[in-house]
Structure 1
Amino acid sequence: MSYSFEYIDIILLAMIAGFIFLRLRGILGKRTGFEGKSPAQFKEVLKNIKVDQAAKPKENFDDEAQKEFLKGAKIAYETIITDFSDNDNRITKAKPLLNKDIFNQFNDALKERAKRGHFAEITFIGVNKAEIKEHKKIGNILNVTVNFIAEVITCIKDKDKKIVSGDPEKIKKIYDTWIFSRDTTSANPNWQLVNILT
């Protein structure tokens, strides 16, 4: 008789265990092979996350971003040099590429040149080399120092067109170190020249 009671106890315990298992599965769920797939309502959110992750290397100024930067820096360098040689005594094309201090310095130099009755003749041959010396991020501002080696033909003439300095027949190699800067949080992708190292 005692054996039959033990048998009933085992059945009861098995039923209780089964009930608990079913309750837990209802609360916690079960593996269905869905892992790794995103529900439809989250697809847009994941898309946005992927776009943000793809944009991060550019914020970090990686190799690809540096190559793109140097292409633009060469164009900016030529634009600024040739604009300084124009004889209207003011910076025009290069203005968006200069911060306020550099723009004022260039304009002051042009005014001084005009006062003396001098004008420049510059033929830009090309940039032989442009390389990033260093880049630093301070807060949201990224500063990039670039070493340029370029070739130009340059001379300064007076109002009677006599040569004051330079040689209109000779190619001159010039070495410059410029610092460009931009706010990484700005929607404006353009860089500005902020300093010229001597």
Structure 2
Amino acid sequence: MSYSFEYIDIILLAMIAGFIFLRLRGILGKRTGFEGKAPPQFKEILNKVKTDNVRKINENFDDAAQKEFLKGAKIAYETIITDFSDNDNKIIASRPLINKEIFNQFNDALKARSNRGHYAEITFIGINSANIKEHKKIDKILNVTVDFVAEVVTCIKDKDKKIVSGDPEKIKKIYDTWIFSRDVTSSNPNWQLVNILT
């Protein structure tokens, strides 16, 4: 079965379009939460991707498919990490990228931090490496485990802007193992973060 670059390009463009739309909405101040409404262009692109073709792409998760997947995974990783520094306790751009359980865990952590009167300052420096550790298909669900190594500058401050933990002048290397998942029978090309391994 041959891998089709055409459909992966469409999927990647759709993910980028959705990401840019959500980022712009956050920057412009309309932070009312994700309402499940995709931009018109995004819907049009998705409608062009047939379920059968998406299924073929995912069943043939070869080297080329993995390379394209990692591009999207890196964008998702940076978006989610950066969102965790939001001081208004709203995960906006990340919401479509994470499942309900992970979303609730992040939300609980943000609320707990806020209740202590603390806030985070996170500067994302970059991803040193992102490698697929394993991928397995269970029934119609394809799970992909990715090892990330990234660099950030992070610190936690209290309401008086006193540093509680971390160092705003020091670059910290972080190691994460995340599991992304998607239904290969769905015409929706989006992956979601479903687990963070410790």
**Root-mean-square deviation over aligned CA pairs:** 1.6
Residue 106 of structure 1 aligns with which residue?
106
Alignment of 1:13-32 (within 5 A): none
TM-score (norm 1): 0.72
SS where residue 161 of structure 2 aligns?
Answer: coil
Alignment of 1:1-198 (within 5 A): 56=56, 58-198=58-198
SS where residue 113 of structure 1 aligns?
Answer: helix
Identity %: 82
Residue 35 of structure 1 aligns with which residue?
none
Is the contact made by 2:54 and 2:189 (CA closer than 8 Å) also made in structure 1?
A: no
Matched residue type, 1:175: Y
Q: Once the 2 structures are TM-superposed, how far is the Cα of residue 90 of structure 1 from its aligned partner? A: 1.8
CA shift digits 1:60-109 (9 cap, x unpaired): 21111100000000000000000010111121110000000000000000
Is the contact made by 2:98 and 2:194 (CA closer than 8 Å) also made in structure 1?
A: yes
Is the contact made by 2:141 and 2:182 (CA closer than 8 Å) also made in structure 1?
A: yes
In structure 1, what is the Cα distance between the partners aligned to 2:176 and 2:114? 24
TM-score (norm 2): 0.72
Which structure 2 segments of 5+ residues have no match?
A: 1-51
Is the contact made by 2:54 and 2:184 (CA closer than 8 Å) also made in structure 1?
A: no
SS where residue 144 of structure 2 aligns?
Answer: strand
More helix by share: 1
Indicate how the Cα distance of structure 1 residues 54 and 192 shifts in structure 2: closer, same or farther if over 3 A, else same.
Answer: closer
CA shift digits 1:83-136 (9 cap, x unpaired): 010111121110000000000000000000000000000000000000000001
In structure 2, what is the Cα distance between the partners aligned to 1:82 and 1:57? 30
Q: Once the 2 structures are TM-superposed, how far is the Cα of residue 54 of structure 1 from its aligned partner? A: 11
Indicate how the Cα distance of structure 1 residues 106 and 54 shifts in structure 2: closer, same or farther if over 3 A, else same.
Answer: closer
Higher relative contact order (CA 8 A, sep 6+): 2
Q: Once the 2 structures are TM-superposed, how far is the Cα of residue 59 of structure 1 from its aligned partner? A: 2.4
Is the contact made by 2:118 and 2:159 (CA closer than 8 Å) also made in structure 1?
A: yes
Is the contact made by 2:55 and 2:185 (CA closer than 8 Å) also made in structure 1?
A: no
In structure 2, what is the Cα distance between the partners aligned to 1:144 and 1:95? 19
Provide runs of 4+ in structure 1 moved above 4 Å: 52-55
Which structure has the greater CA radius of gyration? Answer: 1
Which structure 1 segments of 5+ residues have no match?
A: 1-51
Indicate how the Cα distance of structure 1 residues 57 and 79 shifts in structure 2: closer, same or farther if over 3 A, else same.
Answer: closer
Number of corresponding residues = 147
Indicate how the Cα distance of structure 1 residues 188 and 153 shifts in structure 2: closer, same or farther if over 3 A, else same.
Answer: same
